[in-house]
Amino acid sequence: MPEIDLAAFAAAHADGTLVIDVREPQEYVGGHVPGARLLPMADVPLRSAELPRRERVLVVCESGNRARSVVGRLRAEGVDALSLRGGTAAWRAAGRPLVTGPRANRG
């Protein structure tokens, strides 16, 4: 599945590219990429129509496995989606900021 490396992800994120986090709510509130919108993997089939078709969408989970699965589905539906290689774990390991709690704020 199409992936994006951490540096490219961080640059796109800084430019305002939509980031969706496909983990479960309890994982999301424990620490997520600033600005990431929560869209649990199980909800993607019901809510994928909410995602833009003319803009790139970045997808993240903890390790990248769920995100890659979601990316495959979204790309089949015409969404230009990419998964962060290494997921939130890679973001955290690089010392990037995480937001705790339910808000999808920019940090």
Q: What confidence tens digit (pLDDT) does each residue in 28-68 have?
A: 999 999 999 999 999 999 999 999 999 999 999 999 999 99
Catalytic residue among 38, 61, 67, 81: 61
* Furthest C-alpha separation in the chain: 34
pLDDT at 105 over 70: no
Predicted confidence at residue 107, as pLDDT, reads 41
Q: Would you list the domain boundaries of the chain?
A: 3-93
CATH value of 3-93 in 3.40.50.1370, 1.20.1540.10, 3.40.250.10, 2.40.400.10: 3.40.250.10
Annotated catalytic, 61? yes
Identify the pLDDT of residue 101: 84
**In this predicted structure, what is the pLDDT of residue 103?**
67
How many Cβ atoms sit within 10 Å of the Cβ of residue 77?
14
Closest among 63, 47, 57, 62 to 19, alpha carbons compared: 57
pLDDT > 90 in the chain, percent: 93
